[in-house]
């Protein structure tokens, strides 16, 4: 097999990263004709425990369901409307400045991952707790350098040779015909394929949390009826320099959670060392950041929405710094990219999970086509690279509109909101671009 021609039939394929993008691309490789698929996931814990929310545009859902990557067996909540609120004195909900359509299904990350994982063929080898330290392309494939405790995987024994004496306990290398990088924004596969392509810090943060729906009864305000928030509504609480998005998601056990994401810059002069891509997981929120969170929820947001966010315990809050970048293309020889390993667009686009699943569907189509069209994989790389650039640019425009250069929200009415959103969306790609056949 030459470097430029990928023969997928019977190929030994490694997928680096076992989250949503990793499971979806592993499924794509199987359907595309791979002989064996091994998934390496550095996390040894339970990915299904992750409780953050995500949303999928109805039109993108229909495409992905047709392609076999989403279905009605995956729990969701149907959303229809975005309601925009600005603080107005002591009014609990604030003042509604307008509404916009929001035809999205909301999901919880953990249950969605679990369903994708369950749909992988039995012969898939899933190896948790194994970190891929480096990737080196060879004349006939690529070699992975691995580190971490490894029992050979959940479905079958591993293969490969351990490094010699002095190389460190548990270190080994394994060779594959094809390697798919689905290992997130700090991807080692991307570094091997396109050295130096790294995310840029956008200058602001996303605080995240989720509240069990039954706890919403703790929010009591004079004159406010119980259950003032319709299940189909997505709330945008806006203020000078940021906003919060709140919507319901399934909890994986038949109930709901109120999922929220707050976007705003950290306090001035606070050095968080964010130029190197990182995150602040639950339990690591500093006193200064928590004080800023308290200020925003107490003083800048309407009382009900700020109170809802404060129901999330401090030790469950986590912070996602905003980064963006994209690789010019998603293929380099025997190395392929998907999901956040290839492109990170700011979540304002409403299309992070969508793009990862679209990458998988497009990759499957490309792999199926390689016997007749040897350039099909390269076509995948170019087409998805163009899609990635579109979403990065959209994320930047929406970031300026919603965080970095916000309008005077108090002066906007329905017509002004509609016009401002249309100008910010520009290409009309909110929720993701159409998946090409």
pLDDT at 9: 84
Q: How confident is the model at residue 149 (pLDDT cuts 50, 70, 90)?
A: low
pLDDT at 4: 53
Q: Which whole-number Å values give the CA distances from 115 to 108, 172, 348, 375, in the listed order? A: 11, 31, 25, 32
Within 10 angstroms of residue 165's Cβ, the number of other Cβ atoms is 6
Q: CB–CB of 387/358 below 8 Å?
A: yes
pLDDT(163) > 60:
no
5-44: b or e for each residue (b if 16 or more CB lie within 10 Å)? Answer: ebebeebbbbbbbbbbbbbbbbbbbbbbbbebbbbbbbee
pLDDT at 173: 94
Q: Do domains 12-50+112-154+171-199+325-394 and 53-107+201-323+409-425 have the same CATH topology?
A: no
Tell me which residue has tokens 């995500």.
Answer: 54
pLDDT at 171: 74
177-204: b or e for each residue (b if 16 or more CB lie within 10 Å)? Answer: bbbbbbbbbbbbbbbbbbeeebbebbeb
3-state DSSP assignment of residue 232? coil
Going by the DSSP 8-state scheme, the letter that residue 205 receives in this structure is E
> Can you tell me the distance from the alpha carbon of 14 to that of 39, in angstroms, rounded to the nearest whole number?
6
Order of strands across the sheet with 242-250?
53-57, 95-108, 77-86, 233-239, 242-250, 256-264, 200-212, 318-326, 343-344
Q: CB–CB of 74/115 below 8 Å?
A: yes
Closest CA to 202 of 54, 348, 359, 17: 348
Query: Is the sign of the CA dihedral 246, 250, 252, 255 positive or negative?
Result: positive
Would you give the end-to-end CA distance of the chain in angstroms? 28
Q: How far is CA 142 from the centre of its chain?
A: 26
Order of strands across the sheet with 36-41?
125-128, 36-41, 12-16, 178-181, 335-337, 331-332
pLDDT at 166: 32
Q: Which whole-number Å values give the CA distances from 431 to 46, 74, 106, 400, in the listed order? A: 28, 19, 12, 18
Closest CA to 14 of 31, 36, 32, 33: 36
- Tell me the sheet residues that pair with 179: 14, 335
pLDDT(283) > 70:
yes
Q: CB–CB of 181/335 below 8 Å?
A: yes
Q: How long is the chain?
A: 437
Within 10 angstroms of residue 249's Cβ, the number of other Cβ atoms is 27
Q: CB–CB of 24/360 below 8 Å?
A: yes
> Can you tell me the distance from the alpha carbon of 310 to that of 293, in angstroms, rounded to the nearest whole number?
9
3-state DSSP assignment of residue 356? helix
Token pair, residue 161, equals 């040779």
What are the extents of the domains in the chain?
12-50+112-154+171-199+325-394, 53-107+201-323+409-425
Mean pLDDT value across residues 203-211 = 95
- Per-residue pLDDT tens digits for 15-56: 999 999 999 999 999 999 999 999 999 988 777 677 789 999
- The hierarchical CATH code for the domain 12-50+112-154+171-199+325-394 is 3.50.50.60
| Span of 151-155, 172-176, 181-185, 187-191 with lowest mean pLDDT | 151-155
Q: How confident is the model at residue 275 (pLDDT cuts 50, 70, 90)?
A: confident
- Per-residue pLDDT tens digits for 103-112: 999 999 999 9
- Per-residue pLDDT tens digits for 255-270: 999 999 999 999 988 8
CATH 3.30.9.60 fits 53-107+201-323+409-425, yes or no: yes
- Per-residue pLDDT tens digits for 333-366: 999 999 999 999 999 999 999 999 999 999 999 9
């Amino acid at each position: 097999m030459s470097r430029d021609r990928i023969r997928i039939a019977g190929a030994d394929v490694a997928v680096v990263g076992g989250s949503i993008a990793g499971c979806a691309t592993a499924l794509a490789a199987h359907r595309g004709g791979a002989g064996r698929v091994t998934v390496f996931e550095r996390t040894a814990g339970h990915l299904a425990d992750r409780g953050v929310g995500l949303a999928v545009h109805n039109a993108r859902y229909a495409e992905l369901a047709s392609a076999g990557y989403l279905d009605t067996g995956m729990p969701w909540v149907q959303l229809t409307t975005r309601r925009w609120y600005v603080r107005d004195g002591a009014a609990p909900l604030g003042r509604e400045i307008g509404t916009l359509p929001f035809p999205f299904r909301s999901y919880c990350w953990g249950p969605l991952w679990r369903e994708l994982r369950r749909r992988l063929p039995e012969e898939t080898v899933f190896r948790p707790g194994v970190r891929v330290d480096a990737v080196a392309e060879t004349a006939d494939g690529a070699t992975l350098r691995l580190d971490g405790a490894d029992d050979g995987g959940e479905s079958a024994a591993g293969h490969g040779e351990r490094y010699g004496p002095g190389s460190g306990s548990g270190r080994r290398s394994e060779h594959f015909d094809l390697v798919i990088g689905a290992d997130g924004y700090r991807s080692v596969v991307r570094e091997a394929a396109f050295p130096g392509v790294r995310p840029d810090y956008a200058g602001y943060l996303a605080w995240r949390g989720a509240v069990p729906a039954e706890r919403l009864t703790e929010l009591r305000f004079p004159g406010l009826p119980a259950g003032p928030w319709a299940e189909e509504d997505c709330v945008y609480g806006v203020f000078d320099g940021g906003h919060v998005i709140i919507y319901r998601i399934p909890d994986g056990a038949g109930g709901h959670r109120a999922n929220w994401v707050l976007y705003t810059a950290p306090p001035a002069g606070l050095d968080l060392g964010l130029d190197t891509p990182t995150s602040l997981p639950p339990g690591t929120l500093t006193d200064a950041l928590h004080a800023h969170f308290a200020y925003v929820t107490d003083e800048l947001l309407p009382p009900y929405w700020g109170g809802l966010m404060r129901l999330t315990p401090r030790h469950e809050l986590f912070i996602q710094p905003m980064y963006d970048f994209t690789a010019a293309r998603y293929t380099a020889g025997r190395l392929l990219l998907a999901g956040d390993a290839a492109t990170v667009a700011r979540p304002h686009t409403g299309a992070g999970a969508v793009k990862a699943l679209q990458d998988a569907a497009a990759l499957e189509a490309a792999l199926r086509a390689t016997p007749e069209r040897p350039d099909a994989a390269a076509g995948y790389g170019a087409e998805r690279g163009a899609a990635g650039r579109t979403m990065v640019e959209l994320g930047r425009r929406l970031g300026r509109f919603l965080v970095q250069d916000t309008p005077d929200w108090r002066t906007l009415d329905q017509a002004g909101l509609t016009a401002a959103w249309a100008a910010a969306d520009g290409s009309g790609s909110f929720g993701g671009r159409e998946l090409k056949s």
